[in-house]
Amino acid sequence: MRLDVVTIFPEYLEPLNVSLVGKARARGVLDVHVHDLRDWTHDRHHTVDDTPYGGGPGMVMKTEPWGDALDSVLADGYERGSGEPALIVPTPSGRPFTQELAVRLSERPWLIFTPARYEGIDRRVVDEYATRMPVYEVSIGDYVLAGGEAAVLVVTEAVARLLPGVLGNAESHRDDSFAPGAMASLLEGPVHTKPPLWRGREVPDVLLSGHHGKIARWRRDEALRRTTAHRPDLIERSGPGSFDKKDREM
Ligand code: SAM
């Protein structure tokens, strides 16, 4: 998968060199290109923003640098045969970024991110590229960040761990919170490791029992308990077929 990020803070994307994403790059699973938007400015001050039409506080990112940057990134990707691009526009006014969307994005060959600063990018940029490729305007939560770079890191990490060959154990994301399947509408419950006794706190007996059926039931009960406490909306939204008789007894 190819990823391009156009930003005025390329150094903000340095975490893409470490941990899981860094390893995916080293293994050739991810081909990441970070670009400085100011390389596509033509004035002495490398200006990327201007005052908003209609008035109001804050500044708006200008069309020209974004248009020239995206044209250049697209030309390079097409020349290298990177496949069909999709534009990912981080914005608090986008659709919520979910695990389901992460799965869909992980199936695409090429993602181009446009993290903004100030009050965002002149709307005409998104409208222009939406005529050429799928555009996903995504919000990583109901709060406002100073810029979209942190959102790019979030989306990239969620997508990268789904790519084949990135996680050591491909089964690891099967039981995750929000993963599709039997536990789809449930958050993951608590996890434990050695030692069995720490500061007087024991690992639940059932986890040491070796009884797979009982362990699976315990995990599901804990997941139900946690979801009811932290995200009752997930339970309310799921259909009646999502729960078995024992779930309903809880
Ligand atoms: N005035 C804008 C609004 O209320 O929608 C907020 C602009 S914010 C200060 C600057 C940039 O940070 C946004 O254009 C976007 O790229 C990024 N950003 C801020 N919050 C975000 C969020 N929750 N999810 C994704 N990106 C976000």
Give percent above pLDDT 90 in the chain.
Answer: 86
Per-residue model confidence (pLDDT) at position 238:
85
* pLDDT tens, position by position, 178-199: 877 766 789 999 999 999 999 9
Centre of ligand 1 from the C-alpha of residue 51, in Å = 17
Judge whether 205 and 197 are in contact, CB under 8 Å: no
Collect all residues with Cβ–Cβ distance below 8 Å to 159 and sequence separation of at least 6: 1, 102, 105, 106, 111
Other Cβ atoms less than 10 A from the Cβ of 87: the count is: 21
Per-residue model confidence (pLDDT) at position 182:
62
Q: Element (H or E) spanning 219, and its range?
A: helix 212-230
> For ligand 1, is residue 119 a contact (CB within 6 Å)?
yes
Q: What ipTM was assigned to the predicted interfaces of this complex?
A: 0.99
Query: Using 50, 70 and 90 to split pLDDT, how confident is the model at 246?
Result: confident
Lowest mean pLDDT among 109-118, 142-151, 222-231, 234-243: 234-243
Centre of ligand 1 from the C-alpha of residue 62, in Å = 16
Per-residue model confidence (pLDDT) at position 176:
80
Choose which residue among 122, 144, 153 to substitute to test ligand 1 binding: the one with the highest number of ligand atoms within 8 A of its C-beta: 144
Query: Using 50, 70 and 90 to split pLDDT, how confident is the model at 168?
Result: confident
Rounded-to-integer distance, Cα 128 and Cα 135, Å: 10
> For ligand 1, is residue 153 a contact (CB within 6 Å)?
no
Per-residue model confidence (pLDDT) at position 201:
98
* pLDDT tens, position by position, 48-96: 999 999 999 999 999 999 999 999 999 999 999 999 999 999 999 999 9
Q: What is the pTM of this model?
A: 0.94
Which domains are seen in the chain, by residue range? 2-160 (3.40.1280.10), 174-249 (1.10.1270.20)
Which of 5, 4, 32, 26 is closest to 166 using CA atoms?
Answer: 26
Mean pLDDT, all residues of the chain: 94
Rounded-to-integer distance, Cα 6 and Cα 148, Å: 10
Judge whether 223 and 187 are in contact, CB under 8 Å: yes
Lowest mean pLDDT among 21-25, 56-60, 234-238: 234-238
Is 122 known as a binding-site position? no
Per-residue model confidence (pLDDT) at position 247:
83
CA nearest ligand 1 atom 11, residue:
147
Rounded-to-integer distance, Cα 16 and Cα 154, Å: 10
Q: What are phi and psi of 230, to 5 degrees?
A: -100, -35
Catalytic residues: 92, 119, 161, 176
